[in-house]
């Protein structure tokens, strides 16, 4: 009874943990059973041949989310499904055991492979295809087909056709249904699903169903024209949109096959199975594999941005700290009357260092945005090399360095951007002057070989291990030699240089390098035309005919200077 003037107070009483678990298992069993009954109603041969078996996808996801205890619900539901259609209760129980063991094995394999429930990496897509679908479902197909043969329901000669149909249907259930269920989980990555985006997604889902239905109504084989819609959905909504789109297209295709619509009307049962399985595989690959690829690409870009921020912070911290320290000392007068000039020199040096870092970052951004040359013209590669050497002379003199050149007497014409080629050479020369424990010795040669123009920069630096040859051209790569860790830089010089070389349809490579001896870089470009004989001061010697000069004599002479 309720007191007069009182109210009914309803309060929700949460289930106890055992009650909650029991409810979860009951929902799994009910969902499994309903999906199975629906699939049997859409079988190509009523109650027998199904091109997709959704309960396998439901079972795999249930075990991934709830753990092995979900196997109890799966076993009960599988037995309830197979009992009315199985040869005997014992046979139904054995088939149910196979239907339970297969998703258990698939889920365990996925766990051991480090599978992400968000399906947001390419490795996750590969794992669910190879481990979850193709491998795990071998068990259910083998157990089920064996029971049917041993019970006499299927002739022994039909074991492999029966096995193939069973395995393909179970695998398709994992490939199409499991990603759909996983897409319903809350996601931390990707843009939020606003009302506008939800409307767009709904339109794409509806459009997929209508287009697929129309394509299967015609007798022309046009069903794969739905794949661009799935690709667009994967691009716009990732897994959240790609998985349901693929499932809708698959469902419409199966319905069309059951009712003998369009091009499927004249096909045999085997031909229908092959058509549907090929179509379903294409849907799966075009949906979650593409969405996983996009998410992986976006994640890598985000990691690259974070890495850039960290590298910038580390590289800029030292010069900024020096600037801040000296400015503070100048402000409080602690440098004294004679320390101001020295402080200004240090501040000027650190400012140039900061400017160099910013310039390299800008060059890297330009190279990423458009590595192709901008101001292309016919130039003599020897002039570009000589100008780069002239720019490096002041620093070389300070370091007591020697830079020898072998430019030859014949022009080396190339169609290129002189400024970009100059930047490549500046980076190579500056590296040769910096990364050495001895007085720097560089030799630079220019020659033409087989229609190619080749610039070689040889230094006597610390050398590069063979395992690092390709890594030095990566963004932000710095050497591991502790002696040079304090050398300022962004690790972008060689990355920019290779990008610019690629933009000229050329190559920048390490030809040889030996730790403790030195390195040879080679810049390979396409010659613009045949060489023209143009003498260069210092290389045309009286009494030596130009046409009798050995091709490698100059290079050998200057290379000897580095020994």
Determine the straight-line distance between the first and last CA of the chain, rounded to whole angstroms.
Answer: 107
- Picking from 20, 104, 105, 19, the residue whose alpha carbon sits closest to that of residue 62 is 104
Q: Which of 46-60, 203-217, 341-355 is least confident?
A: 341-355
DSSP 14: P
Written in H, E and C, the secondary structure of 489-555 is: CCCCHHHHHHHHHHHCCCEEEEEEEECCCEEEEEEEEECCCCCCECCCCCCCCCCCCHHHCCCCHHH
pLDDT tens across 435-485, in order?
888 899 999 999 988 889 999 999 998 888 888 888 888 877 776 665 665
Dihedral sign computed on CA atoms, order 18, 23, 25, 26: positive
**Cα distance between residue 440 and residue 47, in whole Å:** 82
Q: Among 405-409, 444-448, 473-477, 504-508, which stretch is predicted with the lowest mean pLDDT?
A: 473-477
Under DSSP, is residue 380 helix (H, G, I), strand (E, B) or coil? strand
Domains for the chain: give ranges and CATH numbers: 14-185 (1.10.1760), 304-369 (1.10.287), 376-560 (3.30.565.10)
**pLDDT per residue as tens digits for the range 38-85:** 888 876 554 555 788 999 999 999 999 999 999 999 999 999 999 998
The least confident of 81-95, 183-197, 420-434 is: 183-197
State the pLDDT at residue 546.
Answer: 39
Which is nearest to 528 in space by CA: 412, 450, 419?
A: 412
Span 218-226, mean pLDDT? 86
Exposed/middle/buried for residue 366 (C-beta within 10 Å: 0-12, 13-18, 19+): middle
Question: Between the CA of residue 389 and those of 116, 182, 491, 517, what are the distances in Å?
Answer: 54, 61, 22, 22
Predicted pLDDT of residue 201: 92
Q: What is the pLDDT of residue 286?
A: 83
Average pLDDT value for residue range 512-540: 71
Range 92-112 average pLDDT: 96
In three state form, how does the secondary structure of 169-237 look? Answer: HHHHHHHHHHHHHHHCCCCCCCCCCCHHHHHHHHHHHHHHHHHHHHHHHCCCCCHHHHHHHHHHHHHHH
Query: What is the distance between the alpha carbons of residues 310 and 471, in angstroms, rounded to a whole number?
Result: 19
Q: What is the pLDDT of residue 468?
A: 85
Q: What are phi and psi of 508, to 5 degrees?
A: -125, 115
pLDDT of residue 551: 39
CA-only gyration radius of the chain, Å? 35
What's the confidence (pLDDT) of residue 495? 87
At 56 the pLDDT is 96
The contacts of residue 417 (CB under 8 Å, 6+ apart) are 373, 374, 375, 376, 377, 504
| Cβ count within 10 A of residue 432 | 27
Query: Contact at 8 Å (CB) between 523 and 424?
Result: yes
Percent pLDDT > 70 in the chain is 80
Picking from 225-234, 272-281, 326-335, which range would have the lowest pLDDT averaged per residue? 326-335
Section 397-401 average pLDDT: 89
pLDDT of residue 531: 46
What gap in Å lies between CA 224 and CA 214, rounded to an integer? 12
Output the pTM of the full model.
0.59
pLDDT one-digit tens code per residue, 351-373 = 776 776 677 667 666 766 666 67
Distance from the Cα of residue 391 to its chain's centroid: 40
Average pLDDT over the chain reads 82
Examine the pLDDT at 111 and tell me if it is beyond 50.
yes
**pLDDT for the residue 4:** 40
* Residue 210, C-beta contacts closer than 8 angstroms, at least 6 positions apart: none
Tell me how far the alpha carbon of residue 406 is from its chain's centroid.
43
What average pLDDT does the segment 305-316 reach?
70
Residue 15: Cβ within 10 Å count: 12
Task: Tell the residue number behind the tokens 């921020």, with chain if given.
Answer: 309
In terms of Cα–Cα distance, which of 174, 184, 178 is closest to 141? Answer: 174
Average pLDDT over residues 88-109: 96
What is residue 3's predicted lDDT score, i.e. its pLDDT?
Answer: 40
The pLDDT value given to residue 144 = 93
pLDDT band of residue 218 (cuts 50, 70, 90) is confident
Mean pLDDT across the stretch 124-152? 93
pLDDT tens readout for residues 4-36 = 444 434 444 455 677 888 999 999 999 999 999
pLDDT at 543: 32
Strand pairing report for 452-459 and 441-449: antiparallel
């Amino acid at each position: 009874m309720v007191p007069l003037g009182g109210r009914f107070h309803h309060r929700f009483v949460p289930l106890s943990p055992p009650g909650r678990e029991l409810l979860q298992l009951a929902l799994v069993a009910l969902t499994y059973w309903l999906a199975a009954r629906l699939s049997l109603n859409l079988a190509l041969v009523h109650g027998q041949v199904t091109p997709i078996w959704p309960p396998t996808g439901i079972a795999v996801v249930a075990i991934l989310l709830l753990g092995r205890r979900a196997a109890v619900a799966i076993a009960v539901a599988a037995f309830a499904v197979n009992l009315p259609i199985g040869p005997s209760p014992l046979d139904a129980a054995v088939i149910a055991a196979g239907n339970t063991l297969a998703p258990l094995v698939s889920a365990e394999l996925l766990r051991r492979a480090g599978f992400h429930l968000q399906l947001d990496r390419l490795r996750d897509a590969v794992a669910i295809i190879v481990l979850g679908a193709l491998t795990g479902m071998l068990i259910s197909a083998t157990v089920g087909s064996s029971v049917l043969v041993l019970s006499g329901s299927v002739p022994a000669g039909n074991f492999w056709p029966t096995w193939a149909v069973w395995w393909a249907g179970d695998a398709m259930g994992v490939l199409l249904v499991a990603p759909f269920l996983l897409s319903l989980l809350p996601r931390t990555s990707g843009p939020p699903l606003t009302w506008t985006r939800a409307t767009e997604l709904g339109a794409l889902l509806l459009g997929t169903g209508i287009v697929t239905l129309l394509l299967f109504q015609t007798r022309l084989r046009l069903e794969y024209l739905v794949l661009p819609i799935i690709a667009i959905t994967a691009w716009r909504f990732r897994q959240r949109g790609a998985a349901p789109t693929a499932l809708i297209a698959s469902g419409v295709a199966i319905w069309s096959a059951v009712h003998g619509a369009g091009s499927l009307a004249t096909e045999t049962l085997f031909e229908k199975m092959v058509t549907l399985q090929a179509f379903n595989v294409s849907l799966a690959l075009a949906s979650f594999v593409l969405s996983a690829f996009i998410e992986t690409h976006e994640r890598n870009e985000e990691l690259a941005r974070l890495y850039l921020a960290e590298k910038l912070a580390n590289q800029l911290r030292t010069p900024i700290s020096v600037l801040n320290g000296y400015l503070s000392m100048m402000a409080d007068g602690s440098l004294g009357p004679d320390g101001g000039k020295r402080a200004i020199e240090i501040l000027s040096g650190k400012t140039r260092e900061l400017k160099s870092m910013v310039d390299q970052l800008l060059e890297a951004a330009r190279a990423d945005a458009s590595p192709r040359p901008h101001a292309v013209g016919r130039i003599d590669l020897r002039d570009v090399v000589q100008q780069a050497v002239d720019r490096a002379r002041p620093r070389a003199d300070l370091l007591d360095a020697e830079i020898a050149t072998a430019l030859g007497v014949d022009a080396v014409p190339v169609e290129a951007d002189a400024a970009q080629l100059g930047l490549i050479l500046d980076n190579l020369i500056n590296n040769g002057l910096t990364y050495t424990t001895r007085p720097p010795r560089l030799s630079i040669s220019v020659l033409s070989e087989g229609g190619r123009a080749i610039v070689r920069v040889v230094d006597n630096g610390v050398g590069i291990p063979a395992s690092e040859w390709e890594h030095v051209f990566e963004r932000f790569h710095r050497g591991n030699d502790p002696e040079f860790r304090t050398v300022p830089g962004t690790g972008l010089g060689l990355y920019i240089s290779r990008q610019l070389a690629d933009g000229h349809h050329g190559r920048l490579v390490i030809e040889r390098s030996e730790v403790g001896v030195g390195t040879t870089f080679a810049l390979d470009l396409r010659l613009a035309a045949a060489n023209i004989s143009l003498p260069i001061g210092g290389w045309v010697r009286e009494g030596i005919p130009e046409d009798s000069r050995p091709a490698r004599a100059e290079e050998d002479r200057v290379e000897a200077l580095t020994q």
